[in-house]
Structure 1
Amino acid sequence: MSAQYDQIGARVADWDVLPVRSEYIEGHTFFKALGSVEQRTVLDLACGDGLYTRQLKARGANRVVGVDISEEMIGGARRYEADQPLGIEYHVADVADMAPLGVFDCVTAVYLLHYAHSPEHLLRMCRNIHSHLKPGGHFVTYAFNPGFSAKGPNSTRYGITMLDFPEAPREAQAISAELHTKSPFTIHFTYWSRATHEQALREAGFRNLAWMQPECSPEGLSRFGQAFWQDYLDNPHAVALRCER
């Protein structure tokens, strides 16, 4: 995964302007699933160039640490931090193998688990996430939707298109998605079923797993109307997942 994001580089910065990537859908749903981070410690995994990492700090978290496997992405995050210091730490690591960084009230990850390349790699990710949480802490992720349907709506107007997605995806199948930014790019990841996600998370020690379908914010509904969003909400490419240690 590090290689593809090292190559994508600065094009990821345009990702946050896509309709589904904006605060209208993804950000709104993610932060609703997460809840308040006021005066909490947060470890943000797969942080990229720090888009959500900085928002976590802005929402009142008292310690925020960002981790990403891509040196290019972390380089961008550190440049943001150098220009506008917020006191965020950034590290380059594969979540499955990262060294201990402390224990946190919350661990977050926007697009992480579908980059596991095997069930064993997924389990190692989940175990390391679990080990970084305080008892009673929460892991909240926004991840590829195991229930996405090739037969459902898949409109380019939302800024993302699944490429050659099979009607009946197999476990561990390679999947691609095209992002329609100013400089379009394609990302590659792995399909894991809901059952495989849950098995790895439970084996790692997590409990009270709750999947959450994306919602549109009031601002998104006011700007575009319900009809604009409905196709996406009927068949979202990604969903939120919250679980407890």
Structure 2
Amino acid sequence: MSAQYDQIGEKVAGWDVLPVRSEYIEGHTFFKALGSVEGQTVLDLACGDGLYTRQLKARGAHRVVGVDISEEMIGVARRQDEAEPLGIEYRVSDVADMAPLGAFDCVTAVYLLHYAHSPEHLLRMCRNIHAHVKPGGRFVTYAFNPGFSAKGPNSTRYGITMLDFPESPREGQEISAELHTKSPFTIHFSYWSRATHEQALREAGFQNLTWIRPDCSPEGISRYGREFWQDYLDNPHGVALRCER
């Protein structure tokens, strides 16, 4: 995963303005699932260029640490913080091998678990995430939707195309998606079923797992109309997942 994002570099910034990103679908759903972070400590994993890391700080989090496996992505995030200092700490690490950073009120991750390359790697990720959540805290992620259907409405009009997505994907099968930004790029990740996600998370110690389908913000409906979003909401490429410790 590190290599592909090191190569993509600042192209990811163009991803942040796609219709399904930020406040309209993804960000709106993610922050609803997360709840208030006012005065809390937050560890943001797979933080990329810091899009949501900065928003967590802006929403009142007391301490925010961003971690990503890609040195290039962390470099972009740090340059953003230098230009507009928010006091965010950024680290480079594979979540599965991450050194202890303390216990946090919540751990977040927008697009992380599907980058596990094996069930064992996924379990190591989940165990390390659990180790960083305070008792009574939560882990909230926005993940590739295990229920995405090749037969369902296509998401191309929203800026994302699933490439040759199989009708019945296998566990661990490589999946590719093209992002239609100003400088288009393709990402590759692994398919893991809902059951595989839940098994790893529960074995790591999480409980009360809640899958949350995406919803559109009032701003998104006002700008594009509800009909525009319906195909995506019927067959979203991503969903939120909230877990408690």
TM-score over 0.5 for the pair: yes
Alpha-carbon distance in structure 2 between the residues aligned to 1:172 and 1:135? 31
1:71-220 matches, within 5 Å, as: 71-220=71-220
Q: Tell me the equivalent position of 2:52.
A: 52
Alpha-carbon distance in structure 1 between the residues aligned to 2:158 and 2:22? 10
The one-letter code of the counterpart of 1:184 is: P
Q: Report the CA distance between 1:25 and its aligned residue.
A: 0.2
Post-superposition CA distance 1:171-206 (Å, at most 9, x none):
110000000000000000000000000000000000
Alpha-carbon distance in structure 1 between the residues aligned to 2:147 and 2:182? 29
Q: Tell me the equivalent position of 2:231.
A: 231
Alpha-carbon distance in structure 2 between the residues aligned to 1:22 and 1:88? 19
Give percent identity, aligned residues only.
Answer: 87
Q: Tell me the equivalent position of 1:40.
A: 40
Alpha-carbon distance in structure 2 between the residues aligned to 1:229 and 1:46? 27
> Is 1:14 aligned with 2:1?
no
The one-letter code of the counterpart of 1:217 is: S
Alpha-carbon distance in structure 1 between the residues aligned to 2:81 and 2:102? 21
Q: Report the CA distance between 1:156 and its aligned residue.
A: 1.4
Alpha-carbon distance in structure 1 between the residues aligned to 2:95 and 2:234? 31
Q: Report the CA distance between 1:22 and its aligned residue.
A: 2.8
TM superposition score normalised by structure 2: 0.99
The one-letter code of the counterpart of 2:87 is: G
The one-letter code of the counterpart of 2:142 is: Y
Q: Report the CA distance between 1:4 and its aligned residue.
A: 0.1
Alpha-carbon distance in structure 1 between the residues aligned to 2:131 and 2:17? 34
Q: Tell me the equivalent position of 1:5.
A: 5
Q: Report the CA distance between 1:97 and its aligned residue.
A: 0.2
Deviates more, 1:151-160 or 1:137-146: 151-160
Alpha-carbon distance in structure 2 between the residues aligned to 1:83 and 1:225? 35
Q: Report the CA distance between 1:81 and its aligned residue.
A: 1.0
Alpha-carbon distance in structure 1 between the residues aligned to 2:145 and 2:34? 18
Q: Tell me the equivalent position of 2:69.
A: 69
User: What secondary structure, in the 3-state scheme, does the structure 1 residue paired with 2:188 have?
Assistant: strand
TM superposition score normalised by structure 1: 0.99
User: What secondary structure, in the 3-state scheme, does the structure 2 residue paired with 1:11 have?
Assistant: helix
User: What secondary structure, in the 3-state scheme, does the structure 2 residue paired with 1:49 have?
Assistant: coil
Alpha-carbon distance in structure 1 between the residues aligned to 2:34 and 2:111? 15
Q: Report the CA distance between 1:84 and its aligned residue.
A: 1.1
- For the 8 Å contact 2:155–2:236, the answer to whether it is kept is no
Aligned-residue CA RMSD in angstroms? Answer: 0.5
Alpha-carbon distance in structure 2 between the residues aligned to 1:72 and 1:229? 33
**Gaps in structure 1 of 5+ consecutive residues:** none
Q: Report the CA distance between 1:138 and its aligned residue.
A: 0.3
**Gaps in structure 2 of 5+ consecutive residues:** none
Q: Report the CA distance between 1:223 and its aligned residue.
A: 0.9
Q: Report the CA distance between 1:215 and its aligned residue.
A: 0.1
User: What secondary structure, in the 3-state scheme, does the structure 2 residue paired with 1:122 have?
Assistant: helix
Q: Report the CA distance between 1:83 and its aligned residue.
A: 1.2
